Chain A
Amino acid sequence: MHIYILEEKIKLKLTIATSLKDLLYGGKDKMLTLSNVSVGYNGINVIKNVNMHVNYNENLSIIGPNGCGKTTLLKAVANILPYSGEIEIAGTSIKKMKHKEISLRIAMLTQMSGIYFSYTVFDTVMMGRYLHIKDKLLGLPSEADKEAVLTCLDAVDLLEQKDRMITTLSGGQLQRVFLARTLVQEPEVILLDEPTNHLDLKYQIELVEYLKKWASEGSRVVVGVMHDINLAMRLSDDILVLKDGEIQVQGKADEVITDSLLEYVYDIDVAEYMRESLQRWQCIGENNKNLSVPSAI
């Protein structure tokens, strides 16, 4: 009897949760949907008829060779580049949204460009609160805005550097500043264009783990353009492979990534590459064996 009541309670909770989700998002599990999206420059389509979707709390990594259109695709979703076709967030076309609404729901970490003028780390991250700051006349941030900035700086391990000028930071630190600025926008969708550029191994792994945690809290997704397939697979179960502006495959990484696919997409000899990599790892393994470990350890 008790078990039956418990099951009923769980069912009821699930029904309420599903109804709320239906109410909020039109009964769809798809957070981000692209239908027949094409993007081009000067009349030439770089992205050709792309159809894809990302479900709630499920991230997506996009991989592909240089020039295949990965960044262009992200820029179309971020409303930076004009496109044809349909892009929807939670069932609503972004063409029907005002620019500010799009920026409140989608944030993008673009690739770094030159810094001409210097600001403090804190001020740079505060720029991400642009649409949240209520004082439109003077643009003065509230305590809540300041708190949000400090939380994001803490998340990227830069809290102690908050008063430093960004021109004095290393490439990796700067990348983390821009990541904090993206996070502080509090969007539903985060688009990341090669986010692990300039980061050392520790921060690459920490970044990916943080993003996974971020996406799992609330109705959020992360779409990342990655060059490192290992990191791509670490960020998301789903992988999308692009070549020449067309999707080659999208699905669970362990199901769709094959030697033949990589050979076709990247034009490399995967077997040879793997053999070389293995040899290097074996060397590292041998070195580890020969290490004289201090007795105290």
Chain B
Amino acid sequence: MKAKVIVTIVLSLVIIVIGVTFGSVWVPPDTVWHIIRNKVFSVPLPESVSQTSVAIVWNLRLPRALLAFIVGACLSISGAVMQSVLRNPLASSYTLGVSSGASLGACIVIMFGVTLPFLPLMTLPLIGFAFGLGTILLAVAFASRLDGQMENNTIILTGMVFSLFVNALTTLLSAISREHLQRLVFWQMGSFSARGWTPVAILAPIIVAGLLYVLHYNRELDMMTFGEEQAKTMGVNIKRIKWILLVTSAALTGSAIAFVGVIGFVDLVAPHIIRRIFGSSHRYVLPMSAFFGGAFMVICDLVARTVVSPAELPVGAVTAMIGAPFFAYIYFGRKNKA
């Protein structure tokens, strides 16, 4: 198991390096290393490293690759938690309306030109996050009122109803203000282009804190996969922990998509693939899903920006196009062998 963990972590780091070196211009890994040392530790750059390489690596590719990694990690952890808490292999934050809420928030910002007074550049991410989290909080609170036991089916159905309702509001607003439609559609497709270091600086502590926090509940998550009644008889305070985990994983998803738009699929497949390799124990599933999902997102972004260069493909479409066959190969291929 330890060997598998080390291989996964090393592979993820290698993939980040590949994500930085590849692109319209090839930048060798040693150059990348010199640039990072120069920027972080102020070590002088060798003569051979051009300022163009520095600009490409430090201003564009490195923040982009790290952002893709962090977003992939956030979404994958969130997916793993949702699947276990709701005991449904297809559950995700999106099922409970996070993406619909964030899209509505983005729609309002784009259509009405809303700007926050002190943080104009952060308006879209912050309102997207607030709407995403608000939708899931409303859905879970409503489910809690409907059903005091907070049964999973009630939560999923309520989440879907809220999601559809909020989607309808977004559609209505888009229909009224067609001139902004293209910007909204692009936001919904998801992209990591030209985001700079700001989202990395904001999301890095969020992913670390979020991962450690959900990891603290790894045993409860294990027990909840056997059903709430069994977990309850073993001493798990189901209602409290369910609230904590649902809101934390929704916040992780909300934070990620607020900066880059709606990117699907990785939250669904990463935890499943990791369970195939590492088993179901959340002590491994949560951190390894983060590494796998992050690395997977870096690869998808690399494909999205290089295949039709200088144009870019929407990364949300790439995740599904690469992920679906890969998932089928891992999941069904291994099943057949077994």
CA distance A278 to B226 in the complex (A): 42
**Interchain CB contact under 8 A, A123 and B223:** no
User: Is A103's beta carbon under 8 Å from chain B?
Assistant: yes
User: Is A271's beta carbon under 8 Å from chain B?
Assistant: no
Chain B interface residue number, banded: 20 to 34
Q: For A128, list chain B residues within 8 Å (CB).
A: 234
Closest Cβ of chain B to A39, distance in Å, is 13
User: Is A185's beta carbon under 8 Å from chain B?
Assistant: yes
Q: A118-B280, A119-B281, A123-B281 are in contact. Are A79 and B235 (CB under 8 A)?
A: no
Interface residue from B216, B227, B236 paired with A113 (Cβ < 8 Å): B227
**Interchain CB contact under 8 A, B235 and A99:** yes
**Interchain CB contact under 8 A, B229 and A75:** yes
Closest Cβ of chain B to A55, distance in Å, is 23
Q: Which residue of A lies closest to B240 (CB)?
A: A99
**Interchain CB contact under 8 A, B279 and A127:** no
**Interchain CB contact under 8 A, B233 and A165:** no
Interface residue from B84, B229, B279 paired with A165 (Cβ < 8 Å): B279
Q: Which residue of A lies closest to B219 (CB)?
A: A139
Q: How many pairs of residues, A versus B, come closer than 8 Å at their CB atoms? A: 69
Question: Which of A27-35, A104-112, A215-223 forms part of the interface with chain B?
Answer: A104-112
| Interface set, chain A 59-106, CB cutoff 8 A to B | 75, 78-80, 82, 99-100, 103-104, 106
Q: Which residue of A lies closest to B233 (CB)?
A: A108
Closest Cβ of chain A to B243, distance in Å, is 15
Q: For A107, list chain B residues within 8 Å (CB).
A: 233-234
User: Is B28's beta carbon under 8 Å from chain A?
Assistant: no
| Interface set, chain B 219-238, CB cutoff 8 A to A | 219, 222-223, 225-227, 229-230, 232-237
Q: Provide 19 A-B residue pairs closer than 8 Å at the C-beta atoms, listed in order of the A residue.
A: A78-B232, A82-B148, A99-B237, A103-B232, A103-B233, A104-B235, A106-B233, A116-B89, A116-B225, A117-B225, A119-B281, A123-B281, A127-B223, A127-B234, A128-B234, A130-B219, A131-B234, A139-B219, A185-B234
Q: Which 9 A-B pairs have the closest CB atoms?
A: A103-B235, A117-B280, A131-B235, A108-B233, A139-B219, A117-B225, A130-B234, A113-B227, A127-B223
